[in-house]
Amino acid sequence: MESPVGRQYKGARSRLIEELREKGVRDMSVLRALDLTPRHLFVPTGIRHRAYEDTALPIGSSQTISQPSVHARYLETLALKGTERVLEIGTGSGYQTVLLAHLAAQVFSVERIKALLDNAREAIKLCEVSNVSLMLGDGTYGWKAYAPYDAILVGAASPDVPQPLLDQLAEGGRLLVPVGSKDEQQLLLITRKGRTFNRETLTPVRFVPLLGDHGWNP
């Protein structure tokens, strides 16, 4: 049963879903995931009244939660069927982690900032999803123990595609990663075919830098 606090935001969540439809989000499974996921749990209490605006919001540690329409485009591009093993680089608030939990069979998420991971763990627990595993570490190395992955999402911008993530991509798997400078990037969709990695440039984006040994030097 949804808590009184959750019910308080139900109308705002419905309005956000309608706004995303108007902006062109068509994938019903993605819209359902957004409707099932209480975004207010993933933002600081002082800005919860803005949780269902289609905007990025600060979550501390110089990080942000991306705007819902960005999450929706990311997830529509991956076209998950519900059977996949997914790796998320940059747990951040944990919001996208829970969206993925509604769209895939297993979600593995890596975060390098302990304070963010601790907060995300608590918020994810409140969402009662049981198919998420979290790890504190350098996400540019991926999470080799559970590879290969059918899909990998990188929630920060890298100067190039981290080689360990390519290595951990399953045959036919898809990797979404923003690549470029710290100020401007292109969102790449990379698909693995044997030893070949087909790259498709999707759209210009702006993300926080991916810090780590295979990203930007911390």
Q: Which of 66, 93, 109, 158 is catalytic?
A: 66
Three-state DSSP class for 122? helix
The CA-CA-CA angle for residues 174, 140, 190, to 5°, reads: 20
- 157 near 210, Cβ under 8 Å? yes
Three-state DSSP class for 118? helix
Active site residue 130: no
CA 114 to chain centre: 17
- 88 near 108, Cβ under 8 Å? yes
- 89 near 74, Cβ under 8 Å? no
- 142 near 88, Cβ under 8 Å? no
- 139 near 164, Cβ under 8 Å? no
Structure tokens at 194: 């044997």
> Annotated catalytic sites, by residue?
66
